[in-house]
A and B are shown apart, each in its own frame.
Chain A
Amino acid sequence: MLRWIRQQLGFDPPHQSDTRTVYVANRFPEHGHYVPQRFADNRIISSKYTVWNFVPKNLFEQFRRIANFYFLIIFLVQLMIDTPTSPVTSGLPLFFVITVTAIKQGYEDWLRHKADNEVNGAPVFVVRSGSLVQTRSKNIRVGDIVRVAKDETFPADLALLSSDRAEGTCHITTASLDGETNLKTHFSVAETSVCQSVSQLEALQAVVECQQPEADLYRFVGRITVTQLGEEIVRPLGPENLLLRGARLKNTKEIFGVAIYTGMESKMALNYKCKSQKRSAVEKSMNTFLIIYLCILLFEAVLSTILKYAWQAEEKWDEPFYNQKTEQEKNSSPILKFISDFLAFLVLYNFIIPISLYVTVEMQKFLGSFFIGWDLDLYHEESDQKAQVNTSDLNEELGQVEYVFTDKTGTLTENEMQFRECSINGTKYREVNGKLVPEGMTEESPDGSTPQLMGEELLFLKAVSLCHTVQISYDQPDCLVGGGDPFSQVNGFSSSHMEYYASSPDEKALVEATKRIGVAFTCSNGETVEIKTFGKSEKYKLLHVLEFDANRRRMSVILQTPSGGQVLFTKGAESAILPFTTSGEIEKTRLHVDEFALKGLRTLVVACRHFRPEEYIDVDRRLNAARTALQQREERLQEAFSYIEKDLHLLGATGVEDKLQDKVQETIEALRLAGIKVWVLTGDKSETAVSVSLSCGHFHRTMNILELLQQRSDNECAEQLRRLARRIKEDNVIQHGLVVDGASLSLALREHEKLFMEVCKNCSAVLCCRMAPLQKAKVVRLLKTSPEKPITLAIGDGANDVSMIQEAHVGIGIMGKEGRQAVRNSDYAIARFKFLAKLLLVHGHFYYIRIATLVQYFFYKNVCFITPQFLYQFFCLFSQQTLYDSVYLTLYNICFTSLPILVYSLFEQLVHPHILQSKPALYRDISKNSLLSFRTFLYWTLLGFCHAFVFFFGSYILMGEDTTLMGNGQILRANRQLMFGNWTFGTLVFTVMVITVTLKLALETHFWTWMNHFVTWGSIAFYFIFSLFYGGIIWPFLHTQDMYFVFVQLLSSGSAWFAIIIIIITCLFPDVVKKVFYRHLQPTSTQKSQSLSIPQEQALSCMESLCCYQHGQSGCSRLARLMEQMTGQCRAGANQCTASSRSNRSWSDTENFYSNDRSILTLSPIESTHC
């Protein structure tokens, strides 16, 4: 604990030395220099708080927020100086806000604790004192030997000691770390790999020395010293020996490893970084508004203070005979008095800054974000995945998106590669039911079931099935263990036992396709590759692999054929291979490849080269020399590769289809109609990307497609850009699409950013191909920081999209096949691209409208609240007398007006979601933060001021002025004329205000569920009940009894009622008129569609919405049932209610979802005429 505190405070650097020494199985040397080292335990802590530090840490974090800090200051000011309101008035709301936030954060942390405990408590097997002991993951210490079985994840960073294979290798997949799904082989050193049992491990004497933990996943430097028979053998350890926490063991029965880095020191944990806080545009404008209000507050306070002193200059006002100052007041220094007066005014008006705004916004976001996860339309049945919200801070940003950057593979497409066509020796073939059918022939070819494959076809298939880096996973890992076991084929494994793993889905698709056709890749280890050609197995010796790299864009293998010759197979992009081919049907193949690309197929070209024996010797020598070169190994390898990969014989080309996802075209079209510009960023080659863009509707046939491809130099690039800009200007009628590739883009971005942006802005669709992940992020940043500061959204599925997802304002992950990397780093995750339409057009729209109104309304209601108090100062000599009672001041924001706006901001639906989705153009109505523009803000603020003036002066004229406040207490005593005082006046203003402010929200509400009714009318009713109760007794602990019976007396006066009604109507009536006039004279498209959205027969009436409950929603239904019994069954009304609610639902496009939902409890309205 103490150490932990010291570490937290930074006193105690966790690592003193540069290396750590790990004694395997913690067998420390009995003699000699053993320095005990302290390592972190294997506990993963993602939670922020513990039970003990929750209160102080949370408080500290909350008060770092500027608004909370402001209220804390106000509270302290109230404690220190003599202020008009008691500290409770600001202390209680502050306490409320802090508590609610703390509860929310505590809950979230509790969830993290739960997740942590799950991880930390997972069972693991550890070798201790000669036997395998099951323990919890958190108990693993550095130096423990851990056993991991197949398909388990590694509980800590382990150095591989041994596996169940003789050579001590194992396969792992790091999908959850970096998203790569291929199998990777890790090795153990020979000295330890023999220790395949617990007893052997027990005898192992070894020490691992390695660097201290660091975050780089691909770097590990260490050495292991094994003591055998008194002799110390030192072996180097590298990343290929290290099994990272979070990776998964594949294809290997079990392994033993020694824990090197544990817990928070594991590489995975070190890579864990808090996602950078993204702030939404709404929050930014909210902060601007807060500052404006702070200025208003300061202005009011300064003005009041100055006026106070102007007034006080005359003694008859400052200190009339009836109102003498105390000695203390007389003697205090004028400067101090001035300051304290200013502070007192600040306190008096401080409620103009809405204290509960933040907490309401937070609650709204937190609760509101559940709706995304709950949405059935965002649920993908096939993969059983629903939408996932990783941060609720950006809900409203979904309604503001202007640019969508989308990945292609896996996002627009399924990332499910299907081999479709190939071209062999100048002939096109299609795959039909596991057979290759040449072009022009139908499936029902006359020559029947087994078409004879010609030699060239066979060679092509063999090349495809041999030249790759696909790994095989079996249920029984016998092939690899057996090595050259001749029985492995005899024992046989049906294809169902075999599963291919590949880092590239194209390769996997190709190998699977050749297997279907009849050339099956069956077995491979480091030295041999086996294929089965129509049942006959052939064994090839693997001589060299010329790995893929992005520059060459091809990979090759050199094999020794069973007959003894050496052959090179190479495969890669056509631009990378065709130039080096010397024989074969080059021209035809090139045509076919272009044809494939036009169809949107991903193309690869396959070629081979047969070596003469002396040629091979040369090749072998060059390769070995390059590989063992100590200097410039990279260059020399490249040189060797290009020496080898030439004089190729072209075999053919493949076309692999990546199927488009469902409804991609519609979604892109909808986004475009919504005014969102879609950019596709992909790593694919331009031809494929263009054709996919065409097929998914990103590019139209009618579009004028501009190209900025393969620009080599700066000047060339600039010239091309200028040419494009000119072209855009010349024919500005046609829509333009732009294709850029990665290299040209980096050129364009380096020098000609402005010009490039100019061109981009005029293009309705942009396609960037051959993009590196960082380039994707760069493009996003470029747009993000352009002068208009558009809101960007990035959507992708793979680890290569992560940087872009994190860079964009809103990052969306697709739960695809490439691991969960993107999903984890995203703000929202959905299962399919098509869900984006609903997410943006419906959810985004709703959230934006909701939060925009929420923010504006909060400012409005606080202006209404405080301005009368400011005005009152003009009538009480700026003496800081409050207009309202302290309790009202305190409860206004947290009780009387808080719930309706919260419910509104959770349930409001301006337009039916169906309309929103079918008319994407409605999205434009809310673009550019239009509902929080300065104009609307000004409107709401002025409205607040106007209403406040009406409240105050209305009360003043109607009840105040010279006619005095008076009423006739007819309820209590017949016909008495009674006097009202200042508290009654304040209560009148307050009553009018609470009702008006609540009704104003009611006017804004377009979607009245029973909950809206409940909180709206409930709030008003609560105010009345509370006031009656509060004024109804003499409160024993209160210092003054100002409010005693004030409210009752007010209400017992007839003219007060008349005044309340007229003031409310006067306030709201112009607003209604304005709304109606605007709707008729300048309707927005949203408003137009509103009138479409509710045909008369489908709309619920106000009364029905009060009584149509969803069964089991709340206790209200029970209450309602009770009411039903009391009022008698009222079939007619109930039926009507059911009918209308059903018909309301029936026209959604997702009809099938509703079919099993008929459990609506309907009730008759009491007021129904049938009753």
Chain B
Amino acid sequence: MATSYNAKDEDGHITVSGPGGGTLRSRKPENTAFKQQRLPAWQPILTAGTVLPAFFIIGLIFIPIGIGLYVTSNNIREFEVDYTGVDVSSPCFNCSQNYSWNSSRPCTCTIPFYLEQPYEGNVYMYYGLSNFYQNHRRYVKSRDDSQLHGDMDSLLTPSKECEPYAFHDKKPIAPCGAIANSMFNDTLELFYNDPNGTKVLVPLANTGIAWFTDKYVKFKNPGGDGANLTAVFQGTSKPVNWLKPVYELDKNSSNNGFINEDFIVWMRTAALPTFRKLYRTIKDAKVIPTLPSGNYTLEVVYNYPVRSFEGRKRMILSTISWMGGKNPFLGIAYVTVGSVCFFLGVVLLVIHHKCGNRNNSADISN
């Protein structure tokens, strides 16, 4: 019989897919919770009812925390004095005019100030710099961590990241790089002017200001602990801007060379152009308070030029609390967020009461 009878008006539009395809393994799928997307699950919905308690709890917790933080922060005493010497009237004006790094004749200036309240407990002394871009990329990378780790090879052939502070007079610079080269080198001394007229030197400790791990692990003098630093650094050059070579930073051998804490502190580059760095701690002396209120004199050996980039230099005295330094914003933030939460909690409560029932019973319109 003929084969052309074709009841379905086929037009012969034919495409044949690949061979071997279409062999379907006819198999009933497994009935597991995973394959059927029936895994037991928690199905939270954010409704006023569910978030209300959270809001109130956050409000109730955050407000006291904020108040606590704010009070703590307020209890921290902080005193700041700018000794850049921009004004002609400023005691350091003369020194600030002197731009030279390597001036052999140190310029000294004295700034008197008055502490209204006594400072108790541990008191910290900082120096602060403004407009100083320690976070400039060229600056940040201009260091050689393996040299600072005490690696002898790197000591003599500093990384090229240190350029243009890697070699001086064909001798490797130790420590190399822009960061080390620009180390803060003012000397700050604090005197308490006793009411009876004598100037008492406030004892400042220059250790314990760097990270423990930096001092004992990350920074190492070449040749190990007991080595004679002068000999080890033989054949290297001091950074161009430094007055003294690195092995003469401190007389104390455990605070000399690369593990000098002033140096380590400086090497931790600041995040922002205005920063402060820990300079000294004032030991919790036997006398209470550590710094009684009264007149003080800050004696500055003014070496560090900042006028060229409109920088400022400050000395800061501060106590600390369990949560760190003075920071009123944290407390304020907590109080603000806490109260907003609480307020919105109330609003939601109203909404929940007014709309909650209606929504639950509402039908979905098709």
Contact = CB atoms under 8 A, between A and B. Distances in A.
A979 B268 contact: yes
A570 B341 CA distance: 85
A978 B265 CA distance: 9
Given A960-B271, A1062-B330, A1100 B178 contact: no
B32 to A, nearest CB: 6
A985 B7 CA distance: 78
A895 interface: no
B360 interface: yes
Contacts of A326: 163-164
A1160 interface: yes
B47 A968 contact: no
B40 A1100 contact: yes
A626 B348 CA distance: 88
B213 A1044 contact: yes
A1066 B334 CA distance: 10
B233 interface: no
Interface in A523-566: 524, 526, 542, 545, 547-548, 550, 555
Interface residues of A, number: 193
B211 A1049 contact: yes
Contact of A1009 (B12, B39, B124, B325): B39
A1077 B345 CA distance: 12
A134 interface: no
Interface string B1-40: 1111111111111111111111110111111111111111
Interface in B138-153: 138-143, 145, 149
B365 A1085 contact: yes
A109 to B, nearest CB: 12
A1129 interface: no
A1156 B32 CA distance: 10
A749 interface: no
A789 interface: no
Which of A327, A524, A824, A1140 has the largest number of chain B CB atoms within 10 A? A824
A324 interface: yes
A632 interface: no
Contacts of B285: none
A802 B11 CA distance: 11
B288 interface: no
Contacts of B359: 1079-1080, 1083, 1088, 1091
B3 A184 contact: yes
A116 B309 CA distance: 74
B46 interface: yes
Nearest to A316: B309
A1108 interface: yes
A219 to B, nearest CB: 11
B2 A469 contact: yes
A1009 B46 contact: no
Which of A118, A1039, A1076, A1154 has the largest number of chain B CB atoms within 10 A? A1076
Contacts of A872: 135
A178 interface: yes
Contacts of B355: 1080-1081
A246 B16 contact: yes
A143 interface: no
Given A323-B133, A673-B366, A271 B8 contact: no
B159 to A, nearest CB: 7
Contacts of B310: 316
A704 B335 CA distance: 66
Contacts of A1008: 41-44
Interface string A1079-1094: 1110101011111111
Contacts of B181: 322
B324 interface: yes
A64 to B, nearest CB: 23
B32 A503 contact: no
B272 A824 contact: no
Interface string A817-847: 0001101110000000000000000000010
B51 interface: yes
A654 interface: no
Nearest to A771: B9
A907 B37 contact: yes
Contacts of B341: 1069
Contact of B15 (A820, A825, A959, A1040): A825
Which of B32, B305, B340 has the largest number of chain A CB atoms within 10 A? B32
Contacts of A178: 10, 12, 14, 16
Given A374-B30, A981-B269, A1145-B38, A919 B43 contact: no
B289 interface: no
A804 B217 CA distance: 72
A91 interface: no
A984 B271 CA distance: 8
A881 interface: yes
B86 interface: no
A1094 B43 contact: yes
A1141 B16 CA distance: 47
A-B pairs with lowest CB-CB distance, top 4: A504-B7, A322-B182, A1105-B42, A985-B271
Contacts of B22: 176, 820, 823-824
B47 A1076 contact: yes
B311 to A, nearest CB: 9
B351 interface: yes
B362 A802 contact: no
A964 B11 contact: no
A168 to B, nearest CB: 16
A981 B35 contact: no
A1040 B36 CA distance: 51
B235 interface: no
Contacts of A1088: 359, 362, 364
A322 B136 CA distance: 11
B42 A1102 contact: yes
Given A385-B24, A984-B271, A1053-B324, A119 B366 contact: no
A325 B355 CA distance: 66
Given A246-B16, A317-B309, A962 B46 contact: no
A115 interface: yes
A555 B6 CA distance: 10
B2 A545 contact: yes
B77 interface: no
B43 A1007 contact: yes
Interface stretch (A660-668, A969-977, A990-998): A969-977
Given A321-B305, A1157-B31, A1044 B218 contact: yes
Contact of B211 (A84, A962, A969, A1081): A969
Nearest to B321: A968
Given A324-B164, A1105-B41, 12 more contacts: A323-B138, A386-B27, A503-B5, A683-B9, A800-B9, A875-B271, A1044-B213, A1045-B217, A1065-B62, A1079-B46, A1079-B48, A1102-B42
